[in-house]
Amino acid sequence: MDRLDNTVRPYAWGSTTAIPRLLGVQPTGEPQAEMWMGAHPGAPSRTARGPLTEVIDEDPEQELGRAAVAKFGPRLPFLLKILAAGAPLSLQVHPNLEQAKEGYEDEEERGIPMDAPHRNYKDANHKPELICALTEFDGLCGFRAPDETAELLAGLDVDSLKPYVDLLHAHPEEAALREVLTALLSADREEMARTVNETAAACARLGGAYAPYVDLAHHYPGDPGVIAAMLLNYVQLQPGEALFLGAGVPHAYLNGLGVEIMANSDNVLRCGLTPKHVDVPELLRIVHFEAGDPGVLRPEASPDGEEVYATPIDEFHLSRYALAAGAGPHDLTRATPQILLCTAGEVRADGSTLTPGQSVFVPAGQKAEVSGSGTIFRATVVV
């Protein structure tokens, strides 16, 4: 197996302390948002054999296994991350596979440069993702019931919000959510900024359930995404709990440290809480306007000690092992490629010692045994 040397991305929303604390190193004072583990061309993990992208390219079937190559092509289909949010990320949504292919082909035909700020599709792949909390983790996920949002907005007693309250009481539910989001993102920017400022002041005065939106308004003053965020379920994950974000589900991560895994794609359409381009017509084509429970996931234990986060996605499969000192080794050998990531304690992986934040790539079929005292996450695929 190959020990990985991974890149940390310094996005502005990143925590300055969470990843250094996990790694046991001194903070640099700069934001450290995401540590990438995998073969994404933007920041591939480095190994003693070279960048993981080049290692896989040299012999895809040897590294990934024949079945994985047949199903996903000659590439690692997932990207594993440690994500550390010190400030809210943008409110966003991801396309399904068909939508991604259509959008990518359309933008290619129109000759939109890949680095153009108004380009939506960087590739032709979908981007389902899973976030598993390592600390308490706050986020927004999926639409809450329109009646509940109407009650939340009405409680602020802001005159300019009353038309949205009326819309949310309309039926059917899908049309109500669509109309409100469309109205928020299409409103006059100056008028909307005044509404957001009034809303933020009311939220600060009332506190309680309104407190999260005060922080959003602080980071994104006047942004319509502050009110759009109130359409969504507010979720507080405890360590070990997770959220699965499928296609069309609006979401945002607000604060906390977690392990994230996703299909290898960069396709994001933003709904707000961002200075970046918001393509309202394309966004409305992608968003799934259905209210429901955000579906907090807890791991399902198997007899061999593997705790699985079950999702309907084949490109990635995330699980964890809580290893106890003195217990026998766990055989993690699989016919698919794996990345093993230590998040607590000290784990032995075939002679290599992993401490928090350290990881290894295990080629398909390579013998992999782990032991020690700590927690290890396993990322692989389903074939």
If we measure between CA atoms, which residue out of 54, 95, 60 comes closest to residue 263?
Answer: 95
Task: For the beta carbon of residue 116, count every other beta carbon within 10 angstroms.
Answer: 11
Task: Indicate the SS3 state at residue 141.
Answer: strand
What whole-number distance in Å separates Cα of residue 29 and Cα of residue 14? 11
Paired tokens of 263: 């299909």
End-to-end, the C-alpha distance of the chain in Å comes to: 21
| Sole residue written with tokens 């389902």 | 128
Strands 338-349 and 352-354 come out as antiparallel
Kindly report the length of the chain: 383
Query: In angstroms, rounded to a whole number, what is the distance separating the alpha carbons of residues 43 and 9?
Result: 9
Say if residues 258 and 241 touch (Cβ distance below 8 Å). Answer: no
Instruction: Supply the pTM of this predicted model.
Output: 0.95
Return per-residue pLDDT of the chain as tens, 383 residues: 899 999 999 999 999 999 999 999 999 999 999 999 999 999 999 999 999 999 999 999 999 999 999 999 999 999 999 999 999 999 999 999 999 999 999 999 999 999 999 999 999 999 999 999 999 999 999 999 999 999 999 999 999 999 999 999 988 999 999 999 999 999 999 999 999 999 999 999 999 999 999 999 999 999 999 999 999 999 999 999 999 999 999 999 999 999 999 999 999 999 999 999 999 999 999 999 999 999 999 999 988 889 999 999 999 999 999 999 877 789 999 999 999 999 999 999 988 899 999 999 999 999 999 999 999 999 999 99
**Which residues make Cβ contacts (< 8 Å) with residue 201, sequence separation at least 6?**
none
Give catalytic residues, as residue numbers: 270
Q: Any idea which residue has 């995401």 for tokens?
A: 34
Other Cβ atoms less than 10 A from the Cβ of 221: the count is: 12
